[in-house]
Homo-oligomer: A and B are copies of this chain.
């Protein structure tokens, strides 16, 4: 059913996220548009033909804990091995460890496809890639030598062990502990929950990155260290040794992503080995674990954002296909007798266009974020600019796209009517899967706090001001294009950008005045406002780039729909930021 939108993805990469221009500049060596397209085509084929056929059964069957072993759904172990054989895990990995060193943009684009086909499956590489980033940035040479090649190829998977029952959003509250040993290794003890792909039999080994506290560590986030804890110890020759002392205690019974084993892991209980304690190796410095974990999490946040895009794309495809086939009633203004395809009913068209608009907008935001990450590594002269841009875009890419995933999946159910509520249709699964994405890797509320207090404030707001000037440039270019198809896009986009600017300046001034609570009250509306403005801006940028042919007319018409329907919301969002805090605070008594 899912057909990777290779043309749309390539277009967005090349003309919205700037891959095309960067390749022309030689920034990615001899990478060419043809190679990019060939990679995308083959990824699309694999996602549609190999991954997706196992998605629904994987959901129905789910991952199970059987006699202490985590059993993946039928066919998934083979699927995973086929997938790594295709080289997909190492697409963007470092070449010195066997990776292909391709742009992160391309990695995000292919991640979108795996997640569209099966989000539960797409999670495995998402976590592994995060582990690669963290080890690459913070691991010792020994650790890199032992683990990186296997993680880059995907022969071993990686995990992120952060959450504990009392430490979710508040990482500083975690209690797992680490003890130093004489040989420079550590013993790890504690319980971790919600560990994605925390255990399974698809690979010979699993590399856990685990946050824990040393006995003499300071309280809070400054006393957290990061450890590498392999499932099986690795001998000097690379062969696998003893089983490490941790085990999967249970799997969660979740709303969605059933194929992905979400584990409670218990470390150091003495189940394996003669001495209690899982053996771990320090990554980075003692008590500096959170900084290392953030390397992993920033990467993961964009990778979660693309899950939202992926679900939105899959839901939109499914809904459009259904709405073309399903006939009910007579649409107004149709000459034909008999029932009309429901796509012709204005209200159904409104739902589908909204879905399409949110999908393309959130895709553009995620790709633009990936572009900034790529350029921060490849454009030394502007590295700081691109680092700031990536930092600024990450919370929006994560939150706006995952909210879009949920909203679009829910609209997709609505388009299907009663059939949408029946599991066999698959529309419901998309909503069930999508619903975790606004929560994990930092809830969208946490993203909003990050955006307002750490990203908007970069260079005292000047980076954001520069970005707003860029967005105004897009609106102006639309105005100057004189293309009728854009309708009121230019003034509406301009007005939405003004809302964004006004809200941002207010948030900066509140923080400057020390009124943090007021600023935080407006964080979520501001974050959505930002996402909507970017959606409008990037759809316009695409429309301008593609103005020539028939496809361009479609793109411009969707942009106009977005500007004249969705952007109407920005004024209300800015109003919530500027005015809402006071009434929110007063209304707290209603929650008492």
Contacts and interface: CB of A to CB of B under 8 A. Distances in A.
Interface in A325-341: 327-329, 331-333, 339
Contact of A332 (B517, B569, B590): B517
Interface string A97-136: 0000000000000000000000000000000000000000
B253 A422 contact: yes
A445 B345 contact: yes
A234 interface: no
Contacts of A255: 413, 421-423, 428, 431-432
B586 A576 contact: no
- Interface footprint category on A: 35 or more
A587 B435 contact: no
B423 A439 contact: no
Contact of A170 (B194, B329, B436, B590): B329
Contacts of A439: 413-414, 417-418, 420-421
Contacts of A85: none
B428 A414 contact: no
The count of identical subunits is 2
Interface in A559-592: 560-561, 563-565, 568-569, 571-573, 575-576, 579-592
A572 B422 CA distance: 33
A39 interface: no
A348 B163 CA distance: 20
Interface stretch (A28-36, A237-245, A283-291, A349-357): A349-357
B254 A555 contact: no
Nearest to A557: B587
A406 B431 CA distance: 12
Nearest to A559: B587
Contacts of A564: 579-580, 582-583
A417 B432 contact: no
B565 A576 contact: yes
Interface stretch (A382-390, A470-478, A520-528): A520-528
A438 interface: yes
A432 to B, nearest CB: 7
B587 A560 contact: yes
Contacts of A558: 587, 590
B582 A353 contact: no
B572 A586 contact: no
Interface in A461-490: 485, 487-488
Given A421-B435, A422-B252, A343 B591 contact: yes
Contact of A568 (B173, B438, B523, B571): B571
Contacts of A445: 345, 347-348, 351, 414
A418 B583 contact: no
Contacts of A422: 252-255
A443 interface: yes
A232 interface: no
A163 B565 contact: no
A42 interface: no
A191 B517 CA distance: 59
A591 B329 contact: no
Given A445-B347, A564-B580, A436 B410 contact: no
Contacts of A349: 521, 584, 587-588, 591
A254 B414 CA distance: 14
Contacts of A524: 347, 350
B345 A582 contact: no
- Name the residue among A343, A438, A520, A524 with the largest chain B CB count within 10 angstroms: A520
A18 interface: no
B346 A521 contact: yes
Contacts of A345: 445, 520
A589 B579 CA distance: 39
Interface of A: 163, 166, 168-170, 173, 193-194, 252-256, 320, 327-329, 331-333, 339, 343, 345-353, 356, 406, 410, 413-414, 417-418, 420-424, 428, 431-432, 435-436, 438-440, 443-445, 448-449, 485, 487-488, 516-517, 520-521, 523-524, 553-555, 557-558, 560-561, 563-565, 568-569, 571-573, 575-576, 579-592
Given A347-B520, A418-B439, 8 more contacts: A169-B328, A349-B588, A421-B435, A421-B439, A554-B590, A557-B583, A557-B588, A561-B587
27 contacts: A168-B417, A173-B328, A252-B421, A253-B424, A254-B421, A254-B422, A255-B421, A255-B423, A255-B428, A332-B517, A343-B591, A350-B584, A351-B445, A353-B587, A410-B435, A413-B435, A414-B439, A418-B440, A487-B583, A487-B586, A553-B589, A554-B592, A557-B590, A558-B590, A561-B583, A568-B575, A572-B572
Q: Across chains A and B, which 6 residue pairs bring their CB atoms closest together, nearest first?
A: A568-B572, A561-B587, A346-B521, A255-B428, A170-B328, A564-B583
